[in-house]
Amino acid sequence: MILEPLFTCDDTVRVVRNIRNDGTYPGQATGVLLVRRGSVGYVRHIGVFLQDQIIYTVHFLEGGNRVVGCRESELIAADAPWISNRFERGDRVTALRALAVGGKITVDAGAVGEVMAVLREPDAPAIYHVLFGKRVFEIPEKSLRPEDT
């Protein structure tokens, strides 16, 4: 099997998912966010892992000037269509509107919840699964704001 890389050295790429430390990035705890989804970087090296995965060494200048290994499936060309989103899994958010189930308000406007998932469709704003108390609601981005600090 011959692996053909999609990108070449010096290509500008965008990461399509958050990159967290899997334990291989020195000086950072496992699980720490290294590169936020949507960040743009430059391919510096192309390698192979386990003879069946292409790994790109990508230099991300923003957000800490990091050099991180990325799988091909985690990257798109930087000029490819992209719609950013404000929130990520684990972010604390505030509901801008009351939420009701069966006509009964179950979450008041101003309640704080946690983003459990980000749902993305091409050419559409993000929708979020947000946990309020013990219930998860599917909420459009325009109905949320960052938690007040």
Number of Cβ within a 10 Å radius of residue 126: 18
Which of 48-57, 62-71, 115-124 is least confident?
Answer: 115-124
The whole-model pTM stands at: 0.66
E strands present in the chain: 12-15, 19-20, 33-35, 40-49, 53-60, 66-71, 75-77, 92-95, 99-101, 104-107, 112-119, 127-132, 135-140, 144-146
User: pLDDT averaged over the chain?
Assistant: 88
Distance in angstroms (rounded) separating the CA atoms of residues 79 and 40:
10
Which pLDDT belongs to residue 97? 92
Q: Minimal CA–CA distance to 126: which of 147, 148, 142, 146?
A: 142
Confidence band of 149 (pLDDT split at 50, 70, 90):
low
pLDDT digits (tens, 9 = 90+) for 109-141: 999 999 998 887 767 778 899 999 999 999 999
Helix (H, G, I), strand (E, B) or coil at 101: strand
Which pLDDT belongs to residue 143? 93
What is the average per-residue pLDDT within 11-24? Answer: 89
Query: Which position has the higher pLDDT, 69 or 52?
Result: 69
Helix (H, G, I), strand (E, B) or coil at 118: strand
Residue 43: beta bridge partners? 58
Q: Minimal CA–CA distance to 68: which of 52, 77, 56, 76?
A: 56
Which of 23-27, 81-85, 114-118 is least confident?
Answer: 81-85
Confidence band of 1 (pLDDT split at 50, 70, 90):
low
Q: Is the pLDDT of residue 59 over 60?
A: yes
